[in-house]
Amino acid sequence: MDGGVIESNIPARMDRLPWSRWHLRVIAALGTSWILDGLEVTLVGSLSGVLESKNGLSLSDQQVTGAATVYLAGAVIGALLFGRLTDRYGRRRLFLATVATYSIATLGTAFSVSYLTFALARFCTGLGIGGEYAAINSAVDELIPGKIRGRVDLFVNGTFWVGASLGAVATLLLLGPHGPPHAWGWRLAFGIGGVLGFGVLLLRLAVPESPRWLMLRGREEEARAVVDAIEREVRKHTPDLPRLEEKPLRLRTRDNTPWGEIFKYMLGPGRGRSLLGLVLMVGQAFFFNAMFFTFGLVAKQFYHQSDERLPLQLLPFAIASFLGPAILGPLFDRIGRKPMISGSVIFFVASAAASAAYLTVSEIFPLEIRALAIAIFYALGTLIGGVGAPLFFGSLIAGGSRAYLAMGYLLGAALMLAGALCEHLIGVEAAGKSLESISRPLQSVD
């Protein structure tokens, strides 16, 4: 129904639900995308030494960092492409398409025979991962009750570091003295990532479309059917659900939000939120991409670590960075977004703040453009702070100067502090609030 006015209590029904096994299954199916991303980044960093050897593809330092840039460029394009399609055609279709793209491309990486084929496979892998950021963050936030959305979102984004840890352990086993020959051990590592992706695809087949997205398209009957099914399952363990506290929304339905209206909002009433999203994304993208895509090169160049020991150097960092969002996540709901993001000073905390960049963008933009907003600011942040960072740090590492490398890390730290200041000054407090109260839908009828 395009152009008609509906009245819906779908958001209120979703927000009143207590945490349940249904929500846990959704997170297990959707949150695994960050595990795959962490796995990808760590594999390339940990395997850089092998990829540069005759047992790999005989790549140079510049080709390793160049492949990282190609991967990020693919992620930018994938985010923009799939982000727009996610808002247009639904969360479910696209989070199935993106994980399929990732899986096929990762298997392609395992069969690379030259730098060209390796870079092409990395680009296509990036397409899938970039699309995941938009499709998954929007779906997770729309399916999780507002009172616990912060901790769940941070935990989901923080599982990137679980993937990083798994990648480090897998590389350690595959490149260790008792592992397979290095000539095909690195291929096996990427092959495992592709197979895991197809396993995730099967899990996602059980996840429904976002009822909020269905509501916007005037498919109110389908949206109610999805929520009815969720409530029936939740009532098996919580018979008495809380009463509805929010008034129903009145919306004018339509199939699509025009580009002009999207940018009119982002550069008009939402320009402060746009600046906030951009600064947070740039800071985290520069710092983390610079660190992880060049970690193996730094360890070899300046600390003379062997290929086999590289994963051991990465593992403690990855574990601490996961524990940050996991432990601090509840405070984002209890204390609030602004004080928690602004207080980021060390990696244990900074990793939570980096995850909160995606939480922030997903919360502060209207439902109609949520996935695209995530995609735009992820893309801009990655282009400004991420694509150039591996090349920039690659040149610093090749120069052999510890002082210049330290200055590069200080630049990354300054960008993170700029994000903290921006959050303190113009951040939007969203703790415990419904998505529709944080940012009113563009299609709402007053």
In a domain, 444, yes or no: no
Nearest to 149 by CA among 438, 439, 434, 441: 434
Which pair of structure tokens corresponds to residue 216?
A: 């916007």
Do the domain assignments include residue 179? Answer: yes
pLDDT tens-digit profile of 192-204? 888 888 998 999 9
Q: Is residue 446 part of a domain?
A: no
How far is it, in rounded angstroms, from Cα 280 to Cα 355?
Answer: 10
Question: What are the tens digits of pLDDT across the range 303-318?
Answer: 777 766 766 777 777 7
Task: Give the pLDDT of residue 38.
Answer: 80
pTM more than 0.75: yes
Q: Is residue 168 part of a domain?
A: yes
Q: Which range of residues forms the domain containing residue 291?
A: 5-437
Within a domain: 16: yes
Has residue 9 been placed in a domain? yes
| Dihedral pair phi/psi, residue 63, rounded to 5° | -70, -35
The average pLDDT across 213-218 equals 90
The stretch 339-364 carries a mean pLDDT of: 73
218-233: pLDDT as tens digits: 899 999 999 999 999 9
Average pLDDT score over the chain = 85
**pLDDT (tens digit per residue) in 147-178:** 999 899 888 888 888 888 887 787 777 776 77
Give the CATH number of the domain where residue 258 resides: 1.20.1250.20
How many separate domains does the chain show? 1
pLDDT beyond 90 at 392? no
Report the DSSP beta bridge partners of residue 249: 8
**Token digits of residue 106:** 């990762």
Q: Is 250 left (phi over 0), alpha (psi -120 to 50) or beta?
A: beta
| The pLDDT value given to residue 186 | 82
Residue 41, in any domain of the structure: yes
Of the chain, the percentage scoring pLDDT greater than 90 comes to 30
In a domain, 273, yes or no: yes
Give the strand pairing for 249-252 and 5-8: antiparallel
| pLDDT band for position 45 (cuts 50, 70, 90) | low
Per-residue pLDDT reduced to its tens digit, 55-113? 888 888 778 878 878 888 898 899 999 999 999 999 999 999 999 999 999 999 999 98
Model confidence band, residue 347 (pLDDT cutoffs 50, 70, 90): very low
Straight-line distance from the first to the last Cα atom of the chain, in angstroms, rounded to the nearest whole number: 19
pLDDT at residue 294 greater than cutoff 50: yes
Taking residues 33-54, report their average pLDDT.
Answer: 77
Q: Which residue has the higher pLDDT, 336 or 400?
A: 336
pLDDT at 327 over 90: no
* Separation between Cα atoms, residue 145 and residue 394, nearest integer Å: 43
Q: What pLDDT is recorded for position 351?
A: 64
